[in-house]
Amino acid sequence: MEFCDECGSMMKTEGDEWVCGSCGFAKPRNAETEAAMTTTQGQEETEVIDVSDVDDRGLPTTEVHCDECGNDEAYWYMQQIRSADESETRFFVCTNCEHRWREDDH
């Protein structure tokens, strides 16, 4: 990848030249410089890991009782819902039935 010496925009190849699509500046291509550039061609493919069956929302869990289904584990997160001088509110989402409630509801 080359960037324009005049305006800094990304350049594209046209034949034996690098040409800027923004300002029209052109400069000759250099085979040695281009050979040293990193490309995605020829790189090893990465292994795809199937995590579709993982039940993880990326949120921490805690031991708390769900009044809807009786489960004792829930995801939790904090959110500012009142003015900045008030404390945040903790919200829970049951890991079993996905019932939602906030800490001050109980």
Q: Which residues are annotated binding-site positions for Zn(2+)? A: 4, 7, 20, 23, 66, 69, 94, 97
Q: Please state the residue numbers annotated as binding site.
A: 4, 7, 20, 23, 66, 69, 94, 97
Q: By the 8 A CB rule, do 32 and 68 touch?
A: no
Closest CA to 79 of 71, 67, 87: 87
Q: Residue 71 in contact with residue 94, Cβ under 8 Å?
A: yes
Question: If DSSP states are collapsed to H, E and C, what string results for 43-67?
Answer: CCCCCCCCCCCCCCCCCCEECCCCC
CA–CA separation, 54 and 40 (whole Å): 30
